[in-house]
Amino acid sequence: MNNKILLYYTLGSTLFIGKTDATTLRKDKKPNVILIMADDLGWGDVGFNGSPIVKTPNLDKLAAKSALFSRFYAACAVSSPTRASVLTGRNPYRTGVFTANCGILRPEELTIPEILKEKGYTTGHFGKWHLGTLTVKEKDANRGRVDNYRDYNPPKQHGYDVGFVSESKVPTWDPMKKPADLKKTFSNSYHEGWNYLQEGEKSISFGTYYWDINGNKITNNLDGDDSRVIMDRVIPFIDKNKENPFLAVVWFHAPHLPVVAGPKYTAMYEGHSDFEKNYWGCITAMDQQVGRLVKELEKQGILENTIICFCSDNGPEESTPGSTGIYRERKRSLHEGGVRVPSFIYYPKLIKEGFVTDFPAVTCDYLPTIASIVGYDTNKIPYALDGINLVPFFKHHNLKRKLPIVTAYTNQISLNGIRYKVYYKDGNYVYYDIIKDPTESHPIEETNVLKNLRIKMNLRLEEYKKSFDGNEYGTKSFDKEKQIWRNPKDFKGHKYYRQQEKLKQIIFQ
């Protein structure tokens, strides 16, 4: 689809220039890009959004120097779709990533790593992938199995040079293990989590693995805090590529269930339940690794020339101690608590001082914003983007969002504009003034303005279906995946859709 031409930038021979000159040259380089995502982290699960409990000092420090979004949206209420939106700048309903463990990141889609490779970047993905399977040789995680070529879709197919990835969730401590004794868990189920495995305690395989960029299973340095395990791969990547621009996508697993935290972190939350101690503890452990990352960037003299974007993929899981702050509902809901997530963008060259904004932004905005900063012309992309370039907003703070944020999930559709929100579920439309009523407690009557927004929302969904059907770049991936369109207005449950897709596979054979 796009010419993957690598433009290599060099500093010349550093043997013949002094340290000061080399530092000056580094400052003139294109910025490094780091995209950090937490997993199921609620809007209220961080100190910078006012949590009175969760300790996130490193994230708080970064947020204070950043554009801090009080109104930042994940492009869906569950994991995989939001992740697809980050990398493509497009709504996931365009490509069939309707929900978690569904569809793939289609190879025809232009991604952030592909754009940055064209600009001379080295690219790496670390942590969760969740946009397809990573092996066809054995059972792995949710969808990986022998000869499942339909869903095989590793990062290497999307512009990455380096990888350390899991297909989906892992425990947040000792990520390859779970206790052999169910009594170690919080509720006689492996779903929520357990207290960390002490030395000598029996364990069994959790059933998922980490893989490198070439599809080799990683077997070393996989014990202890999972966020540290991930960062142990990110730090060497940065050290190796510090003289040239790099992209590091760091998608932590915390605090997705099952949550497990080490004794250092649970001790910070004494007096609370085991579930709470492990849930909040793994968030603080993740925060510590963000601090470690910042120290590495400072050590290499490249922090000031690095863009750091932080967000969560959706709101907190229903059964967890996670907090949505004042916002309504949680993960899997298109009400604010399911999709309004903690987020900031740090980039000192453009954002001179930290500020808080209620400008509505979304994960789709990452691609056009980063493309603008590195000088990539998005007009070359032969299909529509759903995100907007935030650079004018950072410069002038008065940008108006011409494209409202439209999302869909199961039986729900929502539109978030500057002021108003349209919410659809099971045949009913509800309207909110989201500025005056951010808790969505007081629906308002339909006006001509709201009626027009409703029409725009439905037209956008029709656009998504055309993209899904392959109108923009053909049907190669559509045919490979053998999916059917999941119309929120005709939603009959995931079981129904699985049956329809299975029937369609038989027809296609």
DSSP assignment of 205-224, as one string?
E-S--EEETTSPBP-SS--S
* In a domain? residue 225: yes
Q: Which of 391, 414, 432 delimits the end of a domain?
A: 391
Residues 6+ apart with CB under 8 A from 386: 75, 85, 89, 90, 91, 94, 362, 364, 403, 406
Beta strands 122-128 and 355-357 are unpaired
Q: What is the mean pLDDT of residues 422-428?
A: 98
Pair (481, 384) in one structural domain: no
* pLDDT attached to residue 505: 63
Pair (88, 179) in one structural domain: yes
Rg of the Cα atoms in the chain: 22
Task: Please determine, for residue 336, whether its predicted confidence score (pLDDT) is greater than 70.
Answer: yes
Break the chain down into helix, strand, coil percent, rounded to 5.
Answer: 35, 20, 50
Q: How many domains does the chain have?
A: 2
* pLDDT attached to residue 359: 96
Q: What is the mean pLDDT of residues 175-191?
A: 96
* pLDDT attached to residue 28: 59
* In a domain? residue 109: yes
Torsion angle, alpha carbons of 454, 458, 459, 461, to 10: 140
Grade residue 109 by pLDDT with cuts at 50, 70 and 90: very high
* pLDDT attached to residue 494: 86
Pair (239, 265) in one structural domain: yes
* In a domain? residue 471: yes
Angle between helix 226-241 and 274-299 (nearest 10): 10
* In a domain? residue 427: yes
Say whether pTM exceeds 0.85.
Answer: yes
* In a domain? residue 55: yes
Pair (312, 247) in one structural domain: yes
Task: Please determine, for residue 21, whether its predicted confidence score (pLDDT) is greater than 90.
Answer: no
Q: Which of 364, 391, 418 delimits the end of a domain?
A: 391
Task: Please determine, for residue 234, whether its predicted confidence score (pLDDT) is greater than 70.
Answer: yes
Pair (174, 251) in one structural domain: yes
Give 485-489 contacts, CB < 8 A, sequence gap 24+.
Answer: 486/93, 486/98, 486/99, 486/410, 487/461, 488/408, 488/409, 488/410, 488/411, 488/412, 488/413, 488/424, 488/461, 489/413, 489/424, 489/427
Instruction: Tell me the average pLDDT of the chain.
Output: 93
Task: Please determine, for residue 123, whether its predicted confidence score (pLDDT) is greater than 90.
Answer: yes
* In a domain? residue 348: yes
Pair (377, 430) in one structural domain: no
Grade residue 26 by pLDDT with cuts at 50, 70 and 90: very low
Pair (342, 436) in one structural domain: no
Query: What share of the chain in percent tops pLDDT 70?
Result: 93
* pLDDT attached to residue 507: 52
Grade residue 497 by pLDDT with cuts at 50, 70 and 90: confident
Pair (383, 415) in one structural domain: no
Grade residue 29 by pLDDT with cuts at 50, 70 and 90: confident
* In a domain? residue 60: yes
* pLDDT attached to residue 498: 82
Pair (387, 481) in one structural domain: no
Task: Please determine, for residue 4, whether its predicted confidence score (pLDDT) is greater than 70.
Answer: no
Q: What is the mean pLDDT of residues 444-463?
A: 98
CATH number of residue 147's parent domain: 3.40.720.10
Pair (196, 81) in one structural domain: yes
Q: What is the mean pLDDT of residues 32-55?
A: 98
Amino acid at 91: N
* In a domain? residue 69: no
Pair (356, 306) in one structural domain: yes
Task: Please determine, for residue 27, whether its predicted confidence score (pLDDT) is greater than 60.
Answer: no
Pair (238, 345) in one structural domain: yes
Domain that holds residue 419: 405-508
Task: Please determine, for residue 129, whether its predicted confidence score (pLDDT) is greater than 90.
Answer: yes
Task: Please determine, for residue 23, whether its predicted confidence score (pLDDT) is greater than 50.
Answer: no
Q: Which of 345, 366, 391 delimits the end of a domain?
A: 391
Task: Please determine, for residue 13, whether its predicted confidence score (pLDDT) is greater than 50.
Answer: no
Contact between residue 314 and residue 338 where contact means Cβ atoms under 8 Å apart: yes
Task: Please determine, for residue 186, whether its predicted confidence score (pLDDT) is greater than 50.
Answer: yes
* pLDDT attached to residue 502: 77
More confident residue, 345 or 492: 345
Grade residue 506 by pLDDT with cuts at 50, 70 and 90: low
Task: Please determine, for residue 11, whether its predicted confidence score (pLDDT) is greater than 80.
Answer: no
